[in-house]
Chain A
Amino acid sequence: MSGGIALVANGFRGFARYLGGVMGADAYAKYLEHHRAAGHEEAPLSEREFWRDRTDRQDSNPQGRCC
């Protein structure tokens, strides 16, 4: 019984993670990953700074949305 619940919960978590990926919710995590991998000297942006920078850059670099 609990196995079934765990299975459903897992499936739901997987779907939520996927949806989050599609919407770009994991952008900060990916940025940190890149930052670590690239071996930058300076500290990474904080979460708040990152999202601010992200939307502010979209101001001058808009992404199209189709019909």
Chain B
Amino acid sequence: MAGVPDQRNNGSRVEGGLATDPNLPPAAVDQARLDAEDRKWTPAKIALWAAIALLGGVAWFMLAIVRGETVNAIWFVFASVCTYLIGYRFYSKVIERYITKPDDRRATPAEYKADGKDYVRTDRNVLFGHHFAAIAGAGPLVGPVIAAQMGYLPGTIWIIVGVVLAGAVQDYLVMFFSMRRGGRSLGQMAREELGVIGGTAALIATLLIMVIIVAILALVVVNALGESPWGVFSVGMTIPIALFMGVYLRYLRPGKVMEVSIIGFVLLMAAIIGGGLVAQTGWGASVFHLDKVTIAWGLIIYGFIAAILPVWLLLAPRDYLSTFMKIGVIVMLALAIIVVRPEVTVPAFSEFASRENGPVFSGALFPFLFVTIACGALSGFHALISSGTTPKLVEKERQTRYIGYGGMLMESFVAIMALVAAISIDRGLYFAMNAPAALTGGTVETAATWVNSLGLAGVNISPDLLAETARNVGEQSIVSRTGGAPTLAVGLAHIMHQFVGGTALMGFWYHFAIMFEALFILTAVDAGTRVARFMLQDSIGNFVPKFKEASWRPGAWLCTAIMVAAWGAVLLMGVTDPLGGINTLFPLFGIANQLLAAIALAVVLAIVAKRGTFKYLWIVALPLAFAAVVTITASYQKIFSPVPAVGYFANNAAFSKALADGKTEFGTAKTVAAMEAVVRNTAIQGWLSVIFVVLSIIVIATAVLATAKAFRDRAAGTPTTDNEDPAVPSRVFAPAGLVPTTAERELAAEWENVPAEARLERAGH
């Protein structure tokens, strides 16, 4: 077995085989052995996969075909998990075999650039959790809730099928190619692969998209905290808690991350419980009862301060807290759904699935459902995490399938659980919570009358139920609590109170959910503002070199102010929008996110083509084409649709005409000022859509040109330029997936016997 190591170190499918140190065991399992393991189908293995396929099939049948009064939530778990397993075992292996072709004999950046700080070889399971915590946030918790307007089936299909064929493919490929490039960012890869025009368009689009995404995430928080003293108090307390943690880590006990996280978590729970007590007192209710505009301004001021404060004081400690909560919440949600198994009464397709005037978000199922659910199915934002951060930590090339593809499957599962939580509540309650106040009227009586007038099958809600639910969760009202977060919180409280604590704890669970969503979003807002500021500084730096100096305070503050002003303006626009804000802006969030996905996939397409893989280019082209068609159609409708509820400019024209006719109220806008606000907002939203779609089309077009050129070059025999870092032989080994295979275990055992000092070459620096 251990004989002739140099022979085993060669012999591989990968072109230009790389010879690793003959004095060490091989750095990779022999390719023939890997193939043999994959192809060997023992009866037990066949039985296992047949059982998974059968269970998945039955679950899909229960969800999609059987039309009973209710459907049990457990089928969502089975349908998704079985599909993920099959996608991971079969489809991602196809991608690995024909597109990425990882070679474990090559050292990863974490090995050849190792510095003990940014480039550190990290255990694959730890990195899986780390990567997951970086990609998953409030997005997969919010989109599916809003999309539940159309019924459960369209969203479920898109989340599960979309992630297998699109979202996970994007994350995996971006991570792999960034890893082969020393951990370069998506922007840098775009410039290299697509040239100046495509690269610049990608950069501007990324910057704008980040502004929109931060603004709309902030809008979700504002909507969840408006007129909620309990929520404002407990979420507000996260700031002093984080500051305390920061000081603790910097001065008192540096490096005690777990210890401070547990202290922070205990304080956080105290803040939630304390919030309930404070909100019951007269002074508490009056001090922390804030309207949405005040909260929005608070968030804008906070966003600016947080982005210029040193990282150690606020961002780093809150990030620990956020990660800690993220893992806990997801485990808790999964356990609760499996234990409680709520019955879902929402129909597979609701009355709004075939219409384009739904109250929660407007537009037809195609394309708007596919942009409303971005995170969880296909999220372009992940390309920014999958390039840059994670690739610098990967230990072995073959692990990227597990971390990149697998990590995204995990996020998709979070989205499914959020969907289940949202649809396990009463449907009438769902619409009363998610329709704008302009429709519900804002009181329990008007909301109940409006919901019952929709003519939804089986929906007959009483004002008492709305009042009682609000009382149970410790809120003054839950009517028109749009944005998805409050609905998810009610759903979670609904499930959790059957699991732990009964009705008495519903208020706690509701605010627990609001708290973690706010925590995730505030972290994303801080980090997003910072990243965007550096991108802006870098771009301005091309003209005024002084701006490239990160430590130059005036430049840093000015660029922070510009970014905060940009997202703050969109946030205020959403908060004050007479049409309801979230239902007009959320599609823009999804479109922006999916356009970023299209940009990332376009870059990947060019890379794959340049590597000469034309036969399997469809693996990238398929999600790219879908994302491009969906987002461009959605943008087109947002720009050109004559239906005012859908088209920004149609709405703009309708309100402009009403103003010109001297009307003092029009539609849901009850004053001239409100009408003017609609005219202003729709114009901004419309032009943003135009800019996004134009930039994205430029990027996609340059990528298609680069792909065509690669094809011609290959046909003509011209060598194509390769932007990968040069291959360096690896001197370490680790298994690729969660469970090591027999061959991997054997090889790992060989490495165990190598003395530590023989493993790594002295870098001598």
Are A23 and B323 closer than 8 Å at their CB atoms? Answer: yes
Rounded to whole Å, the gap between the CB of B261 and the closest CB of chain A is 7
- Verify A22–B129 contact, CB threshold 8 A: yes
Q: Which residues, 9 to 67 on A, are CB-close (under 8 Å) to B? A: 16, 18-25, 27-28, 30-35, 37-40, 47-48, 50-67
Q: Residue of A at shortest CB range from B133?
A: A22
A38 touches B133 (CB 8 A): no
Query: CB distance B116 to A62 under 8 Å?
Result: no
Contact A62 B527 (CB under 8 A): yes
Residue pair B389, A19 in contact (C-beta under 8 Å): no
Check if A67 sits within 8 Å of B213, measured CB to CB. yes
- Kindly provide the distance from the CB of A33 to the nearest chain B CB, expressed in whole angstroms: 8
Taking the complex as formed, is B125 at the interface, i.e. its CB lies under 8 A from any CB of chain A?
yes
A21 touches B316 (CB 8 A): no
Residues of A within 8 A of B527 (CB): 62-65
CB distance from B37 to the nearest CB of A (A): 27
Docked complex Cα distance between A55 and B125 (Å): 24
Interface size on B, residues (CB 8 A): 66
Contact of A22 among B327, B379, B381, B521 (CB under 8 A): B327
Residue on A nearest B593 in the bound complex, by CB: A67
A66 with B530, Cβ < 8 A, contacts A34-B116, A55-B312 known: no
Complexed CA–CA distance, A47 and B256 (Å): 10
Contact status B257-A39, CB under 8 Å:
no
Knowing A34-B120, A47-B255, A51-B255, say if A64 contacts B528 (CB, 8 Å): yes
Quick one: given A59-B311, A64-B531, are A38 and B120 in contact (CB under 8 Å)? no
Report whether A21 and B123 are in contact in the complex, using a CB–CB cutoff of 8 Å: yes
- What chain A residues lie within 8 Å of B115 (beta carbons)? 34
Give Cα A44 to B122, complex, Å. 20
B384 CB contacts on chain A under 8 angstroms: 64, 66
- Chain B residue nearest to A50 (CB atoms) is B255
Contact A66 B255 (CB under 8 A): no
Q: Which residues of B contact A35 (CB under 8 A)?
A: 116
Contact present for A66 and B381 (CB under 8 Å) = yes
Cβ-defined partner of A23 (8 Å) among B114, B116, B324, B375 = B324
- CA gap between A24 and B129 in the complex, in Å: 11
Residue of A nearest to B762 (CB): A39
Residues of A within 8 A of B551 (CB): 60
> DSSP majority for the A interface?
helix
- The smallest C-beta distance from A32 to any residue of chain B, in angstroms, reads 8
> Do most interface residues of chain B lie in helix, strand or loop, or is the interface mixed?
helix
Q: Which of B116, B134, B254, B760 contacts A30 (CB 8 A)?
A: B116
Note all chain B residues with C-beta closer than 8 A to A32: 116
> Of residues 130 to 149 in B, which have CB atoms within 8 Å of A's CB atoms?
130, 133-139
Min CB distance A21 to B, Å, is: 4
B1 within 8 A of A: no
| Per-residue A-contact encoding for B525-569, CB less than 8 Å = 1, 0 else | 011101100100000000000000011000000000000000000
Q: Tell me if A23 and B258 are in contact (CB < 8 A).
A: yes
Provide the residues of chain A in CB contact with B322, threshold 8 Å. Answer: 65
Tell me, in angstroms, the Cα distance from A57 to B764 when the chains sit together: 24
Which B742-765 residues have a C-beta within 8 angstroms of A? 756, 760, 762-765
Query: Which residue from chain A places its CB closest to the CB of B526 in the assembled complex?
Result: A65
- In angstroms, Cα B385 to Cα A20, docked, is 20
Nearest neighbor of A63 in chain B, beta-carbon distance: B389
Produce 1/0 per residue, B377-407, CB < 8 A to A: 0010110110011000000000000000000
Q: Which residue of A lies closest to B309 (CB)?
A: A59
State whether A55 touches B310 (Cβ < 8 A): yes
A39 touches B311 (CB 8 A): no
What B residues does A65 contact at CB under 8 A?
A: 134, 137, 319, 322, 385, 523-524, 526-528
From B246, which residue of chain A is reached at the shortest CB distance?
A55
Say yes or no for B117: interface residue by CB 8 A criterion: yes
**Are B116 and A31 interface neighbours, CB within 8 A?**
yes
Complex interface: chain A residues within 8 A of B324 (CB): 19, 23
Query: Contact at A55–B311, with CB atoms within 8 Å?
Result: yes
- From A52, A54, A60, contact of B117 by CB (8 A): A54
Distance in angstroms between the alpha carbons of A63 and B316 in the assembled complex = 10
A24 to B256, CA, bound (A): 10
Contacts of A23 in B (CB 8 A): 257-258, 261, 320, 323-324
Q: What's the least CB distance linking B356 to chain A, in Å?
A: 26
Extra contacts besides A22-B323, A59-B550, A60-B550 (11): CB < 8 Å: A23-B257, A23-B261, A34-B114, A35-B116, A38-B764, A50-B255, A52-B250, A52-B312, A60-B534, A65-B319, A66-B385
A-B contacts, 25 of them at CB < 8 A, read: A18-B125, A18-B126, A20-B257, A22-B129, A22-B133, A27-B255, A34-B116, A38-B763, A38-B765, A39-B762, A39-B764, A40-B765, A51-B250, A51-B254, A53-B117, A55-B311, A58-B311, A60-B551, A62-B531, A63-B388, A65-B134, A65-B137, A66-B381, A66-B385, A67-B521
A binding-site residues for B, Cβ under 8 Å: 16, 18-25, 27-28, 30-35, 37-40, 47-48, 50-67
Kindly list the 10 A-B residue pairs having the minimum CB-CB distance in the complex, ordered from nearest. Answer: A34-B116, A67-B139, A25-B257, A21-B126, A55-B312, A22-B129, A60-B550, A62-B530, A65-B527, A31-B116
